[in-house]
Chains A and B, each alone.
Chain A
Amino acid sequence: MRAFAKALGLALWLTCTPLTCISLAQPQPSSDALLRRAVELHQAGDIPAATSAYRAYLKQQPGNVMALSNLGAALAKEGQYEDAIVEYKKALEIDPRNLPVRVNLALAYYKTSQISLAAEELTKAVQQQPTNRQAIFLLADCDLRLGENKKVIGLLSPLEKASPNDKALVYLLGTALIRDNQSARGQMLVDRILREGESAEARLLLGTTKMNAQEFAEALVDLKKAVELNPQLPDVFSYYGLALLTTGDMAEAANAFRKELETNPNDFVSNLQLGVIFKQDQRYDEARSSFDRALRVRPGDPAVRYQLATLDLMTGNVEQACAKLEQLTRDTPNFVEAHVSLATVYYRLKRKADGDRERATVLKLNAESQAAQPGAKER
């Protein structure tokens, strides 16, 4: 099982190394020496010096794709992902079909929690090279984080027949199926994992399945076991936190979300839920940071935008809340809570007519929701 987790981890955490196939034809001799020196420094691990050397070289030869890419890699190595993104993008402008650079750009986006942008780049990479497993798996991971479960299923299902024993694939696909409420097919994959024996992955999938079925106490048992078996498994603390939350243990849930974020800072659920907990505890600055991170992972997510808007409302930034809620209700017109809050904002701003209009929308949406209740079956 360790190998399984390692395989998954490998797919998700590519490392950036300098490209060494230097074209000697392009730069002038003096520039060439500068570039050689930069690569040597880079390979020797002196990243700050390599970065300076690349920059010096690029002043003379600003259009060299390899140098731009290597500079991006050096900056990424130093954790300067935003700067790396700038260099990768310059390289891709010159050479749009450079697959390694595109994957590295995607990784930089991933590292900076810009998951949707990472997915965008990886989609292009997979289109360009449909057999690139690293890109496929990384894209699948991004799509999972974006809640695009169907995309993951579409991406990985074709590979399942060819690699039925690929544990990373089975796990990612199984997770997507279960999250998409395709329980029967998901359960088959869970069973396949379970045949391999006790594992954190199997427990996580079982717990997720039970969460979907609203069997929270049972889910909690599986997820606790998953945490014990492999606390490094992506999402394991996130789901454990959700199970704790639904069974009423908010303090432990907050701890679980924090632990998830220690190893997996891009986890959307943990950022969102932790933000909600902070907000309930009136720790508004911390709530805002958590929501900002969640929004960075899933830009435009209505739930996070709503949380940020109500945070503005609670902290007295009524005008900002108003702008956010107006946009949100335009984008998601059936979001009843957003209409409630927008009505509240209008009333606070003494815009009674607007408030009354939103109130009417709330009443209408609630009436529709009530009418659409499945209702209990008559005895």
Chain B
Amino acid sequence: MSEIYSKRMNRRRFLAAGTAGLALLRPVAGAGAQPVFEEIPPETSGIRWVHDNAASPDHYLPETMGPGCAFLDFDNDGWMDIYLVNSGPCDFYKPKKPIRNALYKNNRDGTFTDVTEAAGVPGGTFGMGVAAADYDNDGFPDLFVTAYGRPILYHNNGNGTFTDVSEKAGLGAKIFEGHWTTSAVWFDFDNDGRLDLFVCSFVDDGTESHLSCGDNKLGRKFYCIPRVFKPTASLLFHNNGDGTFTEVSRGTDIEKALGKGLGVVATDINNDGRMDLFVANDTVQNFLFMNRGPDSKGRTKWEEIALAAEVGFSEDGRARSGMGVDAADFDGDGWQDLFVANVDQEMFSLYKNNKDETFRDVAFKNEVAQATRLLSGWGLRFFDYDNDGALDLFLANGHPDDMIDNYSQAVKYKEPLLLFHQENGQLRNVSNQSGPVFAKSFPARGLAIGDFNNDGRIDVLVGNNGGAPVLLRNHSGQDNHWLGVKLQGTKCNRDAVGARLAWSASGVKRTRMKNNGGSYLSSHDMREVLGLGKAAKLDWLEIQWPQPSGRTERFTDLPVDRYITITEGKGLS
């Protein structure tokens, strides 16, 4: 078997070598072959929802900022469902027909059914993004929907329905007054076993009078550059464990650091066991909030260190237009690296962790800077799309100015998706070998990853501004093995955000941290898919659960090419 396989691969490699150069070790999407990522049309998926961006001649900035999207298993049936965020009525927009968010239930056959009304999650405000997680540890993921206007916390009732508990939970309209919320992330900052909530706050859009950026040379209004708006402070809420939250950012660096937050990822930068936050800001510096643990009064101390860490500004000392972010140990050295996407001409940054709370931008070395010079990036994610064990990178792009085509030759409103594959420790742009969808252009914003067909190959969902979402089915890595792991905390937070996984396959050891957040306005499949490459067996898997237990559990004789659930202290189920 292996010999025949090997011969087959050699022929494939030989054929690929003539056209694909460096892509020798990767299946190439050629004539007749399945693309790496295949666009699933609405008529196949059943996802017919379309984002309404509320576009108007006045060009109000919120119009161009959404939408976010999510993969989540809301009914706990083991299949990823989809949530899509829409705009809605607000002070400048009165829709002529009803607009709503959408929850699509996975029919387990590649199709989805719209269950929004039955589930009770239509939104109703001018929605931006979504963060899904099980904040009350009841085993069912809840939804926090950010908005221009009042955000909504939907509690999952566990029976296919949700309840808007925003006011009851202390996350009502009043506490978000003056905040235009964008990305949000659930994470346990104080290691008490409950997920807390960080919410990015974008600009101060003023009162009902709003801001206008006048006529441009086309004689029309255009979207204000966020520079003209005042910055705001993002918000951190502590989960009280009784269904309510308390704002705890007052007096901390989170409150002092006025920004224009668009993207956030929670991760552990310095491996101290406490989750930190990296926030991408538009036109002001990015923030890196280091979690220094409790002070003498038991309050968590946050220290903003982005400038010292060299992730706040460009190498030319400029604040850029940070939008999407992510964190991952992309080079496998055991330390979390960072990524931030910016607007065109600014290039995106890939920050390698120097292991001393500083970073070095290695985007150029990894072909990312060159490929993104003319692009504006939003949703993005590190993941191992071909299960070879190394993390790759997916970028969703689109220019915020819908009139940019009129005054720029090279920059367009709709932009291509980009896929980077990791080869020998370096990211390589493989977009043009990865399917026809990469030759198309989109006004992309949010991006979520998740394995909607449970084949172990992680799929992608892209939210498009003013258009239909794009669902991409992943066909790559057919010859590679994998193990999908759903972690279920008992002492720690139920979603095990902050857990560390280490595994060995064919003697090759790899590690991963279960971050949360990342991308832009979006939320991902909570399961981890461990790529094993050609190894048909996993030597062992170690889970270091987050605090408060912090226990490490080791597993052997695990199956491969399927999903398993591991419960803290209870093993496989």
Contact = CB atoms under 8 A, between A and B. Distances in A.
Interface of A: 215-218, 220, 247-250, 280-282, 306, 310, 313-314, 336-341, 343-344, 347-348, 352, 355, 359, 362, 366, 370, 373-379
B255 interface: no
B423 interface: no
Majority-rule SS of B interface residues = loop
Contacts of A218: 217
Contact of A373 (B214, B228, B313, B369): B228
Interface stretch (B96-104, B380-388, B407-415): B407-415
Interface stretch (B40-48, B315-323, B334-342, B495-503): B315-323
B308 A378 contact: no
Contact of A249 (B211, B308, B410): B410
Given A247-B408, A248-B411, A370-B231, A379 B317 contact: no
Contact of A376 (B211, B284, B308, B312): B211
A336 B407 contact: no
Nearest to B364: A282
A248 B307 contact: no
Cβ-closest 8 pairs across A and B: A248-B410, A337-B317, A340-B317, A376-B211, A347-B308, A217-B407, A341-B317, A247-B409
Given A310-B315, A375-B228, 17 more contacts: A217-B408, A217-B409, A218-B217, A247-B409, A248-B409, A249-B410, A280-B347, A306-B317, A310-B316, A347-B308, A347-B310, A348-B358, A366-B319, A377-B212, A378-B212, A379-B211, A379-B212
A250 B371 CA distance: 13
A359 B409 contact: no
Contact of B313 (A250, A314, A340): A340
10 contacts: A217-B408, A247-B410, A310-B315, A339-B317, A340-B317, A341-B316, A344-B310, A347-B358, A376-B228, A377-B211
B250 to A, nearest CB: 19
A149 B407 CA distance: 28
A21 to B, nearest CB: 55
Given A340-B307, A347-B308, A379-B58, A248 B408 contact: yes
A333 to B, nearest CB: 15
Given A310-B315, A376-B214, A377-B212, A359 B411 contact: no
B364 A248 contact: no
B108 interface: no
A376 B316 contact: no
A377 B358 CA distance: 40
A378 B406 contact: no
B230 interface: yes
A355 B308 contact: yes
Interface centre among B206, B227, B358, B410 (most CB of A within 10 A): B410
Contacts of B312: 340
Contacts, number: 97
Contact of B217 (A215, A336, A340): A215
A249 B230 CA distance: 32
Interface residues of B, number: 41
A276 B556 CA distance: 54
A250 B373 contact: yes
Given A247-B409, A249-B409, A378 B318 contact: no
Interface in B398-418: 406-411
Contacts of B210: 378-379
B408 A362 contact: no
Given A248-B408, A344-B307, A375 B211 contact: yes
B81 interface: no
Interface string B203-246: 00010011111100100000010011111000000000000000
B408 A215 contact: no
A66 B230 CA distance: 67
A343 B364 contact: no
A370 B308 CA distance: 22
Interface centre among A217, A250, A282, A340 (most CB of B within 10 A): A340
Nearest to B308: A347
B344 interface: yes
Contacts of A248: 344-345, 374, 408-411
A374 B307 CA distance: 27
A249 B374 CA distance: 9
Interface string B146-170: 0000000000000000000000000
A215 B213 contact: no
Contacts of B230: 370
Nearest to A341: B317
B410 to A, nearest CB: 3
B409 A378 contact: no
B307 A378 contact: no
Interface in B274-330: 284-285, 307-308, 310, 312-313, 315-319
Contacts of A247: 407-411
Given A359-B307, A376-B212, A220 B284 contact: no
Given A220-B409, A247-B409, A314 B307 contact: no
A216 B408 contact: yes
A343 B319 CA distance: 14
A217 B406 contact: yes
A377 B228 CA distance: 10
Nearest to A276: B316
Nearest to B312: A340
A323 B397 CA distance: 40
Contacts of B224: 376
Contacts of A378: 206, 209-212
Interface in B252-290: 284-285
Interface centre among A220, A250, A379 (most CB of B within 10 A): A379
Contacts of A220: 409
A310 B373 CA distance: 20
Contacts of A375: 211, 228
B252 to A, nearest CB: 16
Nearest to B212: A379
A220 B408 CA distance: 10
B408 A314 contact: no
A375 B209 CA distance: 13
Interface centre among B316, B319, B347 (most CB of A within 10 A): B316
A343 B407 contact: no
A97 B320 CA distance: 54
Contacts of A217: 406-409
Contacts of A337: 313, 316-318
Nearest to A339: B317
A212 B75 CA distance: 58
A108 to B, nearest CB: 35
A359 B313 CA distance: 12
Contacts of B345: 248
Contacts of B206: 378
A289 B525 CA distance: 50
Contacts of A366: 284-285, 319
B209 A379 contact: yes
A336 B408 CA distance: 28
A217 B412 CA distance: 13
A41 B217 CA distance: 63
A274 B409 CA distance: 20
A344 B228 CA distance: 27
A234 B409 CA distance: 25
A248 B231 CA distance: 28
B530 to A, nearest CB: 35
Contacts of A340: 307, 312-313, 317-318
B213 A343 contact: no
Contacts of A377: 211-212, 214
A216 B345 CA distance: 15
Interface string B487-524: 00000000000000000000000000000000000000
Nearest to B344: A248
Contacts of B410: 247-249
B212 A310 contact: no
A374 to B, nearest CB: 7
B307 A343 contact: yes
B56 to A, nearest CB: 11
